[in-house]
């Protein structure tokens, strides 16, 4: 993919490859023109998902995404959010 980046003078070929893989698998599972009641679940590495989201990969997606977190992920997110709030107010020194 890095060679393709150089050849095409782009910097997002890896990003587009991940997006294309998502579109291909979702399209196969959802069926021709979205069969009624068809659902597709993507299980992804959280670090990869966050990186792709930060780079705007999902703006190229043909499908809407809904993020579902498990209990542990929600707990970590809340703890991190509280830490950032305290840091912004100057209460937390690092």
Q: Mind listing the pLDDT tens digit for each residue in 32-53?
A: 666 677 777 778 788 888 888 8
- pTM recorded for the entire structure: 0.56
- pLDDT of 48-85, one tens digit each? 888 888 888 888 888 777 788 888 888 888 888 777 66
| pLDDT for residue 93 is more than 50 | no
Indicate whether 56 belongs to any domain.
yes
Indicate whether 93 belongs to any domain.
no
- Structure confidence at residue 94 (pLDDT): 43
> In Å, how far are 2, 12, 47, 69 from 7, measured between CA atoms?
9, 12, 28, 39
Indicate whether 34 belongs to any domain.
yes
The total number of structural domains that make up the chain: 1
43 contacts: CB under 8 Å, gap ≥ 6: none
Print the domain residue range for 49: 2-88
pLDDT mean across residues, the chain? 78
> In Å, how far are 15, 34, 50, 70, 90 from 26, measured between CA atoms?
17, 10, 19, 22, 45
Indicate whether 94 belongs to any domain.
no
């Amino acid at each position: 993919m890095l060679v393709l980046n150089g050849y095409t003078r782009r910097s997002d070929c890896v990003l587009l490859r991940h997006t294309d893989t998502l579109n291909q698998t979702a399209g196969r599972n959802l069926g021709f023109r979205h069969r009624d009641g068809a659902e597709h679940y993507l299980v992804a590495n959280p670090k990869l998902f966050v990186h792709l989201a930060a780079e705007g990969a999902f703006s190229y997606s043909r499908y809407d995404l809904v993020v579902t977190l498990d209990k542990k992920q929600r707990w970590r997110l809340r703890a991190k959010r509280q830490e950032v709030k305290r840091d912004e107010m100057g209460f937390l020194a690092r």
